[in-house]
A and B are shown apart, each in its own frame.
Chain A
Amino acid sequence: MADQTLPISGSVDVTPPHAAAGTFLERLHGWVVTVDHKKLGILYVVYSLIFLLVGGAEALAIRIQLMIPGNHFLTAATYNQFFTMHGTTMVFLVGMPILFGFANYLVPLMIGARDMAFPRLNAFSFWLTALGGLLLYFSFIGGPGLYGMGAAPDVGWFAYAPLTAHVFSPGNGTDYWALALIVSGFGTLGTAINIVATIISMRCKGMSLLRMPLFAWLMLVVSALTLVTITPLTAAQFMLLIDRYLGGHFFDTQAGGSALVWIHFFWIFGHPEVYVLVLPAFAIANEIIPVFSRKAIFGYPAMVAASVGIAFVSLGVWAHHMFTVGMTSVSNAFFVLSTMLVGIPTGIKIFNWLATMWGGKIRFATPMLYCTAFVFQFLIAGLTGIILSVAPWDWQLHNSYFVIAHFHYVLVGAIVFNIFAAIYYWYPKVTGRMMSERLGKWNFWLFLIGFHVTFDTMHFLGFLGMPRSIYTYEPNRGWNGLNMVVSIGAFIQGVAALIFVYNLVWSYFHGEVAGNDPWDAWTLEWATPSPPPDYNFATDPEVKSRRPLWDLKHPDDPDWKYE
């Protein structure tokens, strides 16, 4: 076997590293003009992490304001801007770009390709996304509002009509919001097309669809889902701009238009969007849990089927966000049942992860800690989701902090936890150095404690009737203590996030040298040097099973005999 793993002579870059580096300007130029999927992947992730800190700071400002009743830390107007920007930032400038960043970096490596299907489209998509983010934040300084002040959008992340009409939202805040999301939406569409084409058309020899790592499978599902998810939002945003700029009447109730149409269009995007965000988190767990349990993933075909199933079902549940607008009981019943249906494929997944861990030789390194917490937190998030899917229950709790707690359990408890897991897991591949485990443990436990202090408590605020989006409350409502606890938890999470950033930077310079395969993993990206060279693979790999590196390490007992 040995001679076949040697690279073809002349195909390997033998330039000494310091000669390749160049001056600072040359390197910067290299990053700006790059079409390499790995560099673009890193750009996506760094861009998202910066906005994660920004969005996190906004959340902290919100929590300071709500810490005590009658607080004057933020004005009502600023508070509206902050929660709008927090939501928009976290979904569009953090969640999607970071997960597409992981896909960008990892999918070609995992399927044995040298780059994405369309490298230039890839760069174009990233810069569109980046422009969208800048456009959104430029509104703070550049959108002359009512009194010539900077005017960030303040209509909530779902921007319900008719609040977005010119009469109710003068100034340009709403326009920045719509334009930023249209621009970054096209970036997202470009990346989704690219990932689909890469996975279908660029797989190495022997990598049949059912031999792909589950990460690649889920990214295929996510990208296909993105094609029909982000586009309805883009269409609705165009309608909004037509209303605002050309005097159209799509959402203008005075001229026969309907505010309900916007709500439908928004959630036709908004619900599948949750799955666009959470399926990549599943994808990460699918890679990490087997490696740290020292077992192949349990129920691979079931995992694939469940993912495809989730994608399809998620397209037919959007109106569970709309039980309180007054639909017919038939539609209510339909959306209650379709929403509950999502519980079946997600349940299958949770059982499969547990079955993968069951009897395994589990090693609780930081990535595995995060993934383990993810499984249980996602279970709870799913259960509160099923509670909320019951229409009468939703009538009671709609737009209360119970809903906020539920979806933050998904977005933070599942997605952010797995984003951390992924960074701890693949950082050695990207930089060549391990992240500090000691700091990693601090990071994990503080974040875990902060998370539960904040979001477990928030459920009770919801039961006690505290509505979302209010900038302050009266002291006699019985919400004081709980709000204080929620805010304290938020600050614990903030400290954990700072430790994480410190760990990222510290490990880059002082981390232990990782080598090619520090976790003894099985997918193709670990067959390349860390960091991988520009061309990824000197010779095109060929695979015979789902775990090509297992086959390589255990020629006496290869997987392909059993698949």
Chain B
Amino acid sequence: MSAIPTVPELQDQPWHLPSRGRIGMLSLIIGESAIFTIFVVAYVFYIGKSLSGPTPGQVLEVPIFNTICLLSSSITIWLAERRIERNEIKAFGLWWGVTIALGVVFLVGTGLEWYKLIYHDGLTISTNLFGTTFYSLVGLHATHVVIGLAMLLLVLVFTLMGRVTEHHAERIQVLALYWHFVDAVWVVVFTVVYIVGR
């Protein structure tokens, strides 16, 4: 018989460890931050190094409305998180839906911006260094928004099917952590691309 050590005195003491979901998501966020850091560093390093136009100053407009939408989605998802803890499923679904809507508005805004840049200003990823770094960095962030939206939608579908209860609060909060991260990254991208880089 295998001898598994057990210690009688320990048995009634509480033993609490952090949630594995949160630790896992935090680890992912650390890893993702490193990816973004490399792209941001490349962007900053190459500011003003393009050999030909167009330059950021000529073509970029500051996406204020977009930014407000994305950042406020962090607030609405936080409200949703609080609702699910208290098992107020309807209110949760509502705030969750608003979050998705705000995310979609952001994506559409980015799409319109890119449309203008490509078809009116003639800036593509291969035009110059600015194009390469701009589309890569903003595109990397937009990819994260798309992935986030897909996961948020999945939760919304389950909510509409009536499958989501307060038992899922922790998992939903772990997912929300990712969304907060995506929003936080936008603050950096926004600063670098639209303020410093212009």
Contact (Cβ within 8 A) B125 A248: yes
Would you list which residues of chain A between 532 and 552 have a CB under 8 Å from chain B? Answer: 537-539, 541-544, 548-549, 551-552
Contact mask for chain B residues 109-133; partner A; CB cutoff 8 A; 1 contact, 0 none: 0000000000000000110110011
Would you list which residues of chain A between 502 and 543 have a CB under 8 Å from chain B? Answer: 516, 524, 527-529, 537-539, 541-543
Contact (Cβ within 8 A) B34 A235: yes
Contact (Cβ within 8 A) A201 B4: no
Would you list which residues of chain A between 167 and 213 have a CB under 8 Å from chain B? Answer: 189, 192-194, 196-198, 200-203, 205-206
Contact (Cβ within 8 A) B128 A256: yes
Contact mask for chain B residues 129-165; partner A; CB cutoff 8 A; 1 contact, 0 none: 1001100100010000000000000000000000000
Would you list which residues of chain B between 1 and 31 have a CB under 8 Å from chain A? Answer: 1-11, 13, 15, 17-20, 23-24, 27-28, 30-31
The answer to whether the Cβ of A149 comes within 8 Å of any Cβ in the partner chain is no
* Min CB gap A165→B, angstroms: 13
The answer to whether the Cβ of B65 comes within 8 Å of any Cβ in the partner chain is no
Question: Given contacts A235-B38, A256-B129, A257-B129, is CB(A197)–CB(B1) below 8 Å?
Answer: no
Contact (Cβ within 8 A) B38 A232: yes
Question: Given contacts A118-B24, A236-B38, A242-B132, is CB(A5)–CB(B46) below 8 Å?
Answer: no
Contact (Cβ within 8 A) A193 B126: no
The answer to whether the Cβ of A30 comes within 8 Å of any Cβ in the partner chain is no
B residues within 8 A CB of A549?
Answer: 3, 5
B interface majority secondary structure: helix
A234's nearest neighbour on chain B, judged by CB, is B35
* Min CB gap A226→B, angstroms: 8
Contact (Cβ within 8 A) A193 B28: yes
The answer to whether the Cβ of B195 comes within 8 Å of any Cβ in the partner chain is no
Q: When chains A and B are docked, how far (Å) is the Cα of A6 from the Cα of B126?
A: 68
Contact (Cβ within 8 A) A537 B34: no
B15's nearest neighbour on chain A, judged by CB, is A205
A residues within 8 A CB of B3?
Answer: 5, 516, 527, 549, 552
Contact (Cβ within 8 A) B5 A552: yes
Question: Given contacts A261-B42, A552-B3, is CB(A544)–CB(B10) below 8 Å?
Answer: yes
Q: When chains A and B are docked, how far (Å) is the Cα of A201 from the Cα of B30?
A: 17
The answer to whether the Cβ of B49 comes within 8 Å of any Cβ in the partner chain is yes
Contact (Cβ within 8 A) B46 A256: yes
Q: Which of B7, B23, B33 contacts A201 (CB 8 A)?
A: B23
Contact (Cβ within 8 A) B132 A118: no
Q: When chains A and B are docked, how far (Å) is the Cα of A138 from the Cα of B61?
A: 46
B37's nearest neighbour on chain A, judged by CB, is A232
* Min CB gap B103→A, angstroms: 23
Question: Given contacts A232-B34, A235-B34, A236-B38, is CB(A541)–CB(B6) below 8 Å?
Answer: yes
B residues within 8 A CB of A249?
Answer: 126, 128-129, 132
The answer to whether the Cβ of A250 comes within 8 Å of any Cβ in the partner chain is yes
Contact (Cβ within 8 A) A193 B17: no
The answer to whether the Cβ of A33 comes within 8 Å of any Cβ in the partner chain is no
Contact (Cβ within 8 A) B38 A265: yes
Contact (Cβ within 8 A) A192 B51: no
Q: Which of A6, A117, A239, A529 contacts B20 (CB 8 A)?
A: A117
Contact (Cβ within 8 A) A527 B5: yes
Contact (Cβ within 8 A) A206 B15: yes
Q: When chains A and B are docked, how far (Å) is the Cα of A433 from the Cα of B30?
A: 41
The answer to whether the Cβ of B32 comes within 8 Å of any Cβ in the partner chain is yes
Q: When chains A and B are docked, how far (Å) is the Cα of A291 from the Cα of B20?
A: 32
Contact mask for chain A residues 238-255; partner B; CB cutoff 8 A; 1 contact, 0 none: 110011001111100001
* Min CB gap B39→A, angstroms: 6
Contact (Cβ within 8 A) A539 B24: no
Question: Given contacts A202-B17, A203-B17, A235-B34, is CB(A193)–CB(B4) below 8 Å?
Answer: no
Q: When chains A and B are docked, how far (Å) is the Cα of A261 from the Cα of B42?
A: 8
A residues within 8 A CB of B7?
Answer: 205-206, 542-544
A residues within 8 A CB of B8?
Answer: 4
Question: Given contacts A201-B19, A231-B34, A236-B38, is CB(A248)–CB(B5) below 8 Å?
Answer: no
* Min CB gap A208→B, angstroms: 10
Which of B4, B8, B33 gathers most chain A CB within 10 Å? B4
Q: Which of B13, B31, B140 contacts A227 (CB 8 A)?
A: B31
B residues within 8 A CB of A544?
Answer: 7, 9-10
Q: Which of B10, B20, B28, B136 contacts A248 (CB 8 A)?
A: B136
The answer to whether the Cβ of A228 comes within 8 Å of any Cβ in the partner chain is yes
Which of B2, B49, B128, B133 gathers most chain A CB within 10 Å? B2
B125's nearest neighbour on chain A, judged by CB, is A246
* Min CB gap B100→A, angstroms: 25
A residues within 8 A CB of B42?
Answer: 239, 250, 261, 265
Question: Given contacts A247-B126, A256-B46, is CB(A197)–CB(B23) below 8 Å?
Answer: yes
A residues within 8 A CB of B128?
Answer: 249, 255-256
B27's nearest neighbour on chain A, judged by CB, is A193
Would you list which residues of chain B between 162 and 188 have a CB under 8 Å from chain A? Answer: none
Question: Given contacts A6-B1, A242-B125, is CB(A228)–CB(B34) below 8 Å?
Answer: yes
Q: When chains A and B are docked, how far (Å) is the Cα of A436 from the Cα of B49?
A: 63
Q: When chains A and B are docked, how far (Å) is the Cα of A543 from the Cα of B34?
A: 37
B36's nearest neighbour on chain A, judged by CB, is A235
Q: When chains A and B are docked, how far (Å) is the Cα of A236 from the Cα of B33?
A: 14
B50's nearest neighbour on chain A, judged by CB, is A256
B residues within 8 A CB of A223?
Answer: 27
* Min CB gap A459→B, angstroms: 35
Contact mask for chain B residues 69-82; partner A; CB cutoff 8 A; 1 contact, 0 none: 00000000000000
Q: When chains A and B are docked, how far (Å) is the Cα of A193 from the Cα of B38?
A: 20
Q: When chains A and B are docked, how far (Å) is the Cα of A314 from the Cα of B111?
A: 41
Q: 13 A–B contact pairs at CB < 8 A? A: A5-B5, A7-B1, A203-B17, A206-B10, A224-B27, A230-B31, A239-B42, A239-B136, A242-B136, A246-B125, A249-B126, A250-B133, A542-B5
Given contacts A4-B8, A247-B126, 11 further A-B contacts (CB under 8 A): A5-B4, A117-B20, A189-B31, A197-B24, A200-B17, A206-B7, A224-B30, A242-B132, A246-B125, A250-B133, A258-B45
